[in-house]
A and B are shown apart, each in its own frame.
Chain A
């Protein structure tokens, strides 16, 4: 019969809510600490996860091998002659010369990456900008934007559209334009390029190919995707480690709080449980009431903490933890992470916050409920 069951649970919830109402200040304090903890933990987890995912996307699209040229230790341009040399190396697949550079915009005080995409560049006089550029500079479709070239002459381009990309980290600071516009801006003459992206016919031979490039072109600096990957991870894991250590301290504080609650019911609570037992509440019914109390407090704290963390990380640029975790991307203008939530992560957080809390509430109540209620007679 479901109706009596519902009536019973409603009565237990009713009593649990009233019981909490009587300890209002204490309950609200506890709830706030709890929500804050979930918020912080969830922020780091969501942020770290989304960032790692974006880094993976970024590197997945990165070429297996990039060849730059150095002259006296400085980055130098690559000419058609160099491309010919690379063409002659066995094991090299496609060769894509790239045109790109940085532009510091003094108005918005941000660094942008200027680039000519290998396929479908915007027509001359137009540009496509990343979401971060749009946010920082306020530019949208149809706006005009002037940049001084390396010759000192200003060039004005019109914003054709915004980049739509799965990952803002990859695209946030990009300005795409035609080679005809980019060359004078960066001062790169025709026939010269910033660097070269190579694919390798046999991915396992990427080391060998890199070695051959060094032999044929002594001033070349080949960069493998694997090396980038390792650098990202090392740096990133280290930062996440620091944050998680800090959060460990917070978690410890929470554990102490929970322990404090677990190690002693107040005399009032103990008396109340004795009375409930004496007037005919079963041990299980006292526990059901406590379980509702724990569920209401912890679920609401968890939900609100998690949703706030989601907004913090994915809607605002994570002002509270972004500075630490994004450190390696300081060159980029502000970017907002693409929402990514992993079920397992939500579950982990749930288990580590909700269960200890409910246990800390229910176990002492259970201990009080199984003792003879005759003490309330005196």
Chain B
């Protein structure tokens, strides 16, 4: 369960160009559900996901994960949460160029100190599920949009996170790949993952796998469903 109370993020706080990208959000996200954050561009979806995923700290308010307050924790604990609790699929994928698909996928496990063979086996299993076995040793800069996205998804899953966060996952995909992505989400849901997606793609908005829709505008929640 993720719990937000009065969460705000003000960019350039205290300066003339201060801007509240997220403005006083109260929200409850039960475990094991698929939630979609929707709303026009600039409404604060990405910013809110960064705050939930501990990639940035809120300017105000409190975030609790399974009852534990995380907003005030030192950086080191937030990093540990990013490593084990969250798996991110970034909008631009953020794969590291020059490395292979497999190497990218193994990267979040590097600091864990597990035997390399074991990490590699896990990575290959995930790649197989995502239909990427053939591409395991290809350099990521030569991947197609759909392959890059599934690589990013595989990397997000390597440390078996409870929460998977995907920012605008279908923005770079055609509708066929978009549907394939929704199937992956359904599988994650089935395996008990909590999934948070931001998107203004109607394909995602009307997908049956989405259980909960949070609509945002100007940093506030305008509708819950």
A→B interface (CB under 8 Å): 3-5, 7-8, 10-12, 14-15, 18-19, 21-22, 268, 271-272, 275-283, 285, 370, 372-374, 376-378
Q: Tell me, yes or no, whether B114 is within 8 Å of chain A by CB.
A: yes
Q: How many residues of B contact A (CB 8 A)?
A: 37
Q: Which among B56, B92, B98, B111 is the interface contact of A372 at CB below 8 angstroms?
A: B56
Assess the A11–B116 pair: CB atoms within 8 A: yes
User: Is the pair B55, A282 in contact by a Cβ cutoff of 8 Å?
Assistant: no
4 A-B pairs besides A5-B113, A278-B82, A374-B47 with CB distance below 8 A are A279-B83, A279-B108, A280-B79, A282-B79
23 contacts between A and B (CB under 8 A): A11-B109, A12-B110, A15-B107, A18-B99, A19-B98, A277-B82, A278-B82, A279-B82, A280-B80, A280-B159, A281-B79, A281-B111, A285-B110, A372-B56, A372-B57, A374-B55, A374-B56, A376-B55, A377-B49, A377-B50, A377-B88, A377-B90, A378-B91
The answer to whether residues A378 and B46 also contact, given A277-B79, A280-B82, A281-B79 and a CB cut-off of 8 A, is yes
Chain B residues positioned under 8 Å from A378 (CB to CB): 46, 91-92
Chain B residue nearest to A7 (CB atoms) is: B113
Q: Determine the main DSSP class of A at the interface with B.
A: helix
Pairwise interchain contact A279-B107, C-beta atoms closer than 8 A: yes
Using CB atoms, name the residue of chain A closest to B79: A282
Select from chain B the residue with minimum beta-carbon distance to A376.
Answer: B94
| Cβ B111 vs Cβ A280 within 8 A | yes
Which chain B residue shows the least CB distance to A272?
A: B96
Is B84 close to A, CB under 8 A?
A: yes
Distance between B151 CB and nearest chain A CB, rounded to angstroms: 13
Question: Are A283 and B75 neighbours in the complex by a CB distance under 8 Å?
Answer: yes
> Does B23 belong to the interface (CB within 8 Å)?
no
Cβ of B160 to closest chain A Cβ, rounded Å? 12
The reply to whether A7 and B115 form a contact with Cβ atoms under 8 Å apart is: yes
Q: CA A335 – CA B49 in complex, angstroms? A: 73
Given A18-B99, A373-B55, A377-B55, A278:B94 Cβ within 8 A: yes
Instruction: Determine if B111 and A282 form an interchain contact, defined as CB atoms under 8 angstroms apart.
Output: yes
